[in-house]
Copies of this chain bind each other. A is one copy, B any other.
Amino acid sequence: MRRVGIALLGCGTVGRGFVELVERERPRIAARHDVDLRIDRILIRDNDKERAGVDRRLLTRSAIAAIDDECDVVVELIGGVHSAGAFVRRAIANGRNVVTANKALLAMNGAELFNAAAANDVSIGFEASVCGAIPIVRVLKSAFAGDEIESIEGVVNGTCNFILSCMERGSAFAEALSCAQERGFAEADATLDVDGVDAAQKMRILASLAFDAPVVRESVVGIRGVTPHEIERARIGGNSIRLVARAERIAGGVAIDVAPRELDANHLFANVRDENNTVVVRGRASGEIVLSGKGAGALPTASAVLADVIEIAKSPSRRTAYAI
């Protein structure tokens, strides 16, 4: 059995979910995949916080200690671009594989990080960075390997969808947002979600996997301007407003478009509720393939992180098949 040491950076909502899931699933993973997963170190910022179910002896406030200790995989669940980016760079330079749920970091510095990973012969797993538990990264990488992808469209931001769903049920925007924050779906600063930037970042990541072509046009409109009145008017007409993100092949490259859309009640996306996500991939040979599932939440996101860790643990080569 292969022993795989994990350094976990960050112990917030998803981090604690990851600790819980590894603890629970370790015996099954060992039996099925022949790898013995161990979290050796957990990087935290605040030593005094209560963290139920987390072994305090693993906690450290030293990023250098966490990253430089012997480990096979660094799991980055800090979020944000600056510290997280510095830690991921250091992990790669030290020859560590990285798994991250950080779409902002990849959208901003993906090319640099994947080049560094390739140069150091390590992998970056990022399934959890897009659409939580939905295995859209894997599906684009492997299931569509023999097909030409024409477009990707979806409800890819769980926070926005949760807010719009609450507003449909009569909540005000601010109330819906704080409810999303309480449930752990939205960041303390939900600006990136609400303004559509997060959805656009996800579509950039998916587009880079799908199209082998540069983004030449991008239009991003968030849900900040959507009024309770518009939602109510849509609801009365039997419709729903959803933040729809789309990437498609156009002449010279890829166009990305993110905007709130009023949709008929029968529309696939109108039936995506709360923190759920749905993505439709249209392939020239495959036709439409639809994937739906939880786009946010501690355990769903942690399950995507863990799937990447297991894939790296089992891989004979450390290098990823694809970089974005």
**Interfacial residues, chain A to chain B (CB-CB below 8 A):** 17, 21-22, 25, 28-29, 31-33, 127, 133-135, 138-139, 142-148, 212, 283, 285-294, 297, 299-300, 302-307, 309-311, 314, 316-317, 321
Contact = CB atoms under 8 A, between A and B. Distances in A.
What are the nearest 5 A-B pairs in CB distance? A146-B306, A135-B143, A289-B293, A290-B292, A133-B286
Contact of A286 (B138, B144, B300): B300
Contacts of A32: 145, 212
27 contacts: A17-B285, A21-B147, A22-B146, A32-B145, A32-B212, A127-B143, A133-B286, A135-B142, A138-B143, A139-B139, A145-B307, A145-B311, A146-B305, A146-B310, A147-B303, A286-B293, A286-B299, A286-B300, A286-B303, A287-B293, A287-B297, A287-B300, A288-B293, A290-B292, A291-B291, A316-B316, A316-B317
A143 B300 CA distance: 11
B289 A144 contact: no
- The complex is assembled from copies of this chain, and their number is 2
A300 B143 CA distance: 11
Given A133-B286, A286-B300, A148 B31 contact: no
A307 B143 contact: yes
Given A285-B302, A303-B283, A303-B285, A21 B294 contact: no
Given A21-B285, A32-B212, A33-B145, 16 more contacts: A17-B285, A22-B146, A25-B147, A28-B148, A29-B145, A29-B146, A133-B283, A133-B285, A144-B303, A145-B307, A145-B310, A146-B309, A285-B299, A285-B300, A287-B299, A288-B293
